[in-house]
Amino acid sequence: MRLLLKNAHLYRHESFSDTDVLIEDGIIKKIGACNEEADKVIDLHGALLSHNFIDIHTHLREPGFEHKETISTGSASALYGGYGTIVAMANTLPCMDDQETIKDFTKRCEKDAQVKTYTYSAITEELKGQKVVDMEENIKQPIVLGFSDDGKGVQKDEKMEEAMTRAKALDSIIVAHCEDESELHGGCIHEGHYAKEHGLIGINSASEYKQVDRDLQLVDKIHNRYHICHISTKETVALLGASRARGERVSGETSPHHLILTEDNIQDCHPNYKMNPPLRTKEDRESIIKAVNDGAITVIATDHAPHSRDEKNKPIDKAPFGIIGLQHAFPLIYTYIVEEGLIKLETVLDCLTSGPAKTLNLDASIEEGMKADLCAFDLNKEYTIKEEDLKSKACNTPFLGWKVKGELIMNIVDGQLLVEE
């Protein structure tokens, strides 16, 4: 099968070019002007063509919470968001803390995943923070790309130090949900003006940055690979930047919602504005945007966290944390960040492709002779995010009804044309 993509606005090698791409049996054969015969020709009419996106922080909920999401529906959401690779968090039931569970997850993905799907092993058994898992055995599973207790922070210093030391010996990575539980008091949104005005318990910034500070002090001692999940505070940004400046192998991600929203956007105490970490201040958002522009934050990850309608349809202080994000991450960022002149498109694409790839030792290059992993977006097409168009089982997002630009028109995953709109 020969597939010719004509008139692409290709992002490659940190720059754009107007070109054609010839793909034969899933392999990129030629990048450049091409008029060769092909079984199928897709004229992109100048649409953006990029390596498809890599999300290194998603919750597929399977096994154990299939009423929220499944591997099939979650990966479909990714596929229609332009993603070709996702990495699932370990907080399933049973949790990804032993080889048996990880092997079962592998079989489920082979059967149902619509994009390339990996997972993290838990750091501690059942995410309880008491006993570090058999890291040396779990990492042998090809589907495992690192270790994370996401959903919980590892509270005991000695357990995180043990995990970092053992991960370093394996040349693997700790992917950390940083949350100091001694700073938590049952809060549901940021400890700011909105919480005060509405009589809600807040979540302070120290709950995040205190554990980041502890972990980065351990990294200074151990010199291991370390990644900070869902950065939401200016203090975390400063700590990450300083650690990188010291030459440590650390990285960090932020989410689309922390790039776009603050506590000022919360409306009617709606539970779809409840996520962990919470939407914070204008100053925090500005710091995160600057860190992306400066290269301190190198990854945009969705933290796609689906819940059933019944679970989320509760008062904000009772509803679970989390929103979905895979299907519309790029259009939202393009419309409300790139078009607003806050971050260049090139930087956003790097944070969705080469940044996460470098973090987890994946490949996001586009070269002749390589398997095709490509997505295309019409950046001029405007549409409204509607519940009936969601591929996820869930609809817990504050972005329903928002107008966005950037419609997916094609997604080629592992050489296979899976979406053509």
Q: 């700011």: which residue's tokens?
A: 192
Q: Directed axis angle between helix 206-222 and helix 157-169, to 10°?
A: 50
Q: Which sequence positions are flagged as catalytic? A: 303
Rounded distance between C-alpha atoms, residue 370 and residue 382, angstroms: 33
CA 53 to chain centre: 9
Pull the structure tokens for residue 234. 């200016």
What is the C-alpha separation between 389 and 383, in angstroms, rounded?
11
Which pair of tokens denotes residue 107?
């079989």
At residue 117, the 3 state secondary structure works out as: strand
How many Å apart are CA 376 and CA 44, to the nearest integer? 8
What are the backbone angles phi and psi of residue 334, rounded to the nearest 5°?
Answer: -60, -45
Let me know: does 329 contact 79? Beta carbons within 8 Å: no
Amino acid at 350: D
Q: Are 324 and 390 in contact (CB under 8 A)?
A: yes
What Rg do the C-alpha atoms of the chain give, in angstroms? 21
Q: Bridge-partner residues for 124, per DSSP?
A: 132
Triad 196, 190, 331: Cα angle to 5°: 130
The residue assigned the tokens 């690779």 is: 85
Of 127, 123, 64, the closest CA to residue 93 belongs to: 64
**Separation between Cα atoms, residue 255 and residue 333, nearest integer Å:** 10
Residue 98, phi-psi category: left (phi > 0), alpha (psi -120 to 50), beta (remainder): beta
* DSSP string across 75-91: HHHHHTTTEEEEEE-S-
